[in-house]
Amino acid sequence: MTFSVHEAKTQFSKLLDLVENGEEVLILRHGKAVARLVQARVPKKPQFGAMREEPRWPEGWDRAMAADEVDAFWEGR
């Protein structure tokens, strides 16, 4: 559907109702298209790759490393 700028300003709520119902609204100024209203696509829950759920840490991940473990880490063993 197309509307002039004046019509869009005076009937903005109606335009939003149309867009919510899946219509696409084109707004014209002096007969030329200047804007298009379309339904927003907002994800319900953001997805962040591997972080889609609560992370699960291995048992003992927060304990201090023993000296031999530190040496093995730095030496690549």
* Model confidence pLDDT, tens digit, residues 39-55: 988 766 666 666 667 77
| In the predicted structure, residue 31 carries a pLDDT above the cut 80 | yes
Give the span between the Cα atoms of 28 and 5, in whole angstroms.
6
Average pLDDT over all residues of the chain: 86
pLDDT value for 47:
63
pLDDT value for 48:
66
∠ CA 35-23-8, rounded to 5°? 45
One CATH from 1.10.10.10, 3.30.420.40, 3.40.50.850, 3.40.1620.10 for 1-40: 3.40.1620.10
| In the predicted structure, residue 61 carries a pLDDT above the cut 90 | no
pLDDT value for 6:
94
